[in-house]
Amino acid sequence: MIDTLRLTAEGAMGLLERGELSAGELHAAYLGAIAELDGELHCYLRTSEEPSGDGIPIALKDVISTKGIETTAGSRILSGYTPVFDATVAARVKGAGLSLLGKTNTDEFAMGSSTENSAWGPSRNPWDPARVPGGSGGGTAAAVSAGLAPWGLGSDTGGSIKQPSALCGNVGLRPTYGTVSRYGVVAFASSLDQVGPVARTVRDVALLYSIVAGRDPLDSTTAELPEAVQLPEGDSLAGVRLAVPKQVGDLDAIEPGVRAAFEASLERARDLSAEVGECDLPLSYRYGMPCYYLVAPAEASSNLARYDGVRYGLRTPASAYDEMVEETRDDGFGPEPKRRIMLGTYALSAGYYDAYYGQAQRVRTLLIREHRDALEGFDAIVTPTSPTVAFPIGDKAADPLAMYACDLLTIPSCLAGLPGLSIPCGLSDGLPVGLQLIGRQFGENGLFRIGHAFEQAIGFDTVPERLR
């Protein structure tokens, strides 16, 4: 009997290499776990019954194009769309022999912090199915947490890998912008979107990152890694300098239990011989949210204009072209994409472009400089990943501003294009709390080293208590 709840990807690799089980048996074990639990959790939109490779199974967020397999980005406007090609990251995992388990649920077009915006219904948190798994990549995070996949790929625009990883008790990496190809990934905000791994351990995350990272001639925004990805070892933080933003202490949005787990993590860092100091990010915490909610909706407005009922996906019959486009978009887009399309279209409209989108991009430049200056004397910036633990389904659904605030701590570094790693650091009211580590550009190896040392010291049990 294969215990998928505790099996890491690295452990699964060892079983395969030693011949203790076959790829088919491993794939079947995860399908069995999916059959048992996914009716309650709704992590997957569709599964692959037969292994597509001879290696470890993997789950892909349903914004990643997969040849011959429906890809909807959680939206009815793409219902029935079956790509004729693989996204570069899908091709790379296949090329490494990984076997596709299925496509995971997501907020529509990756717009959300709870996976409640999916046109196919919400995913649920394995720690408490009455609560959200985070978003937009809640399906992938919940699948890994519940043992329905050993690892998966998500996408992160303003926190959609890091925040659900925190709420589900996983490890999640948003890589440096440009280190992972976006070719074949359904676009939300092109200057922000980035694909990254979710897994149970930092070493698993590093291993999956090594498979998908690197320059892609099909994506002109990609770059070669300056050094090879290194699997972390060791349990000391000697010589490591960590910075806590001064502003974190003043944020009332951070729940007491989250703050307590965060403070305990800082004490562990000191015990591991790290130096913990302060940095100052005043612009990032004052203007990060409004900046993001101008840049991202504006780019979404441009990207989502391609969904017109003509080329792919949903088409609502009508007597005239303009009427068909209007009715297709009205039927196909849910409330959140409509809200962001309207915000973005207004920000890009004649007479307002420079005042809104242009100004937001100038502010973004200031945030990039502020992070660069803050990291000059430190190896990583450390904050809670999410200001709260997983909240009840429906709790914030009627209040978009409250939902947007879930990404308060993840957005600034995303605007700066920097890598961020979330690791579980404790519990609050029986629910996971995430610790966010933000590094310099191309500083993933440093984050892996720091995250791994924390992981060893904290000893967090990633299996949800109700499933043990």
Q: 9-222+234-280+368-461, superfamily in CATH?
A: Amidase signature (AS) domain (3.90.1300.10)
Q: Which residues contact 223 (CB under 8 A, 6 or more apart)?
A: 178, 179, 215
* Helix, strand or coil, per DSSP, at residue 262: helix
57-61/151-156 β-pairing: parallel
Phi then psi dihedrals of residue 20, to 5 deg: -75, -20
Cα dihedral 318→120→387→294 (10° resolution): -20
For residue 447, what is the DSSP state?
H
CB 34 within 8 A of CB 139: no
Cite the active site residues.
61, 136, 160
Reduced 3-state DSSP string for 366-420: HHHHHHHHHCCCCCEEEEECCCCCCCECCCCCCCHHHHHHHHCCCHHHHHCCCCE
CB 127 within 8 A of CB 375: no
* Strands ordered across the beta sheet of 151-156: 44-47, 99-104, 57-61, 151-156, 194-199, 171-174, 420-428, 431-438, 380-384, 241-245, 275-279
CB 296 within 8 A of CB 192: yes
d(CA 271, CA 266) in angstroms, rounded, equals 9
d(CA 212, CA 151) in angstroms, rounded, equals 13
For 298, 302, 356, 402, the CA distances from 346, given in Å and listed in that order, are 8, 11, 9, 22
Return the closest-CA partner of residue 353 out of 295, 417, 284.
Answer: 295
334: amino acid identity, one letter: G
The string of pLDDT tens digits covering residues 46-96 is 999 999 999 999 999 999 999 999 999 999 999 999 999 999 999 999 999
What b/e string do you get for 170-206 counting C-beta neighbours within 10 Å, with b at 16 or more? Answer: bbbbbbbbbbbbbbbbbbbbeebbbbbbbbbbbbbbb
In this prediction, residue 1 carries a pLDDT of: 79
d(CA 381, CA 186) in angstroms, rounded, equals 30
CB 158 within 8 A of CB 164: no
What b/e string do you get for 272-301 counting C-beta neighbours within 10 Å, with b at 16 or more? Answer: bebbbeebebebbbebbbebbbbbbbbbbb
Rg (CA), the chain: 21
Torsion sign (Cα): 154, 159, 164, 169 = positive
* Helix, strand or coil, per DSSP, at residue 17: helix
**Every domain of the chain and the residues it spans:** 9-222+234-280+368-461
Torsion sign (Cα): 56, 60, 64, 70 = positive
Per-residue pLDDT of the chain (468 residues), as tens digits, is 799 999 999 999 999 999 999 999 999 999 999 999 999 999 999 999 999 999 999 999 999 999 999 999 999 999 999 999 999 999 999 999 999 999 999 999 999 999 999 999 999 999 999 999 999 999 999 999 999 999 999 999 999 999 999 999 999 999 999 999 999 999 999 999 999 999 999 999 999 999 999 999 999 999 999 999 999 999 999 999 999 999 999 999 999 999 999 999 999 999 999 999 999 999 999 999 999 999 999 999 999 999 999 988 999 999 999 999 999 999 999 999 999 999 999 999 989 999 999 999 999 999 999 999 999 999 999 999 999 999 999 999 999 999 999 999 999 999 999 999 999 999 999 999 999 999 999 999 999 999 999 999 999 999 999 999
Is residue 50 exposed (0-12), middle (13-18) or buried (19+ Cβ within 10 Å)?
exposed
pTM, entire model: 0.97
d(CA 74, CA 441) in angstroms, rounded, equals 31
142: amino acid identity, one letter: A
353 alpha-carbon distance from chain centroid: 29
In this prediction, residue 81 carries a pLDDT of: 96
Return the closest-CA partner of residue 358 out of 442, 417, 450, 295.
Answer: 295
Element (H, E) at 300: helix 282-303
In this prediction, residue 237 carries a pLDDT of: 97
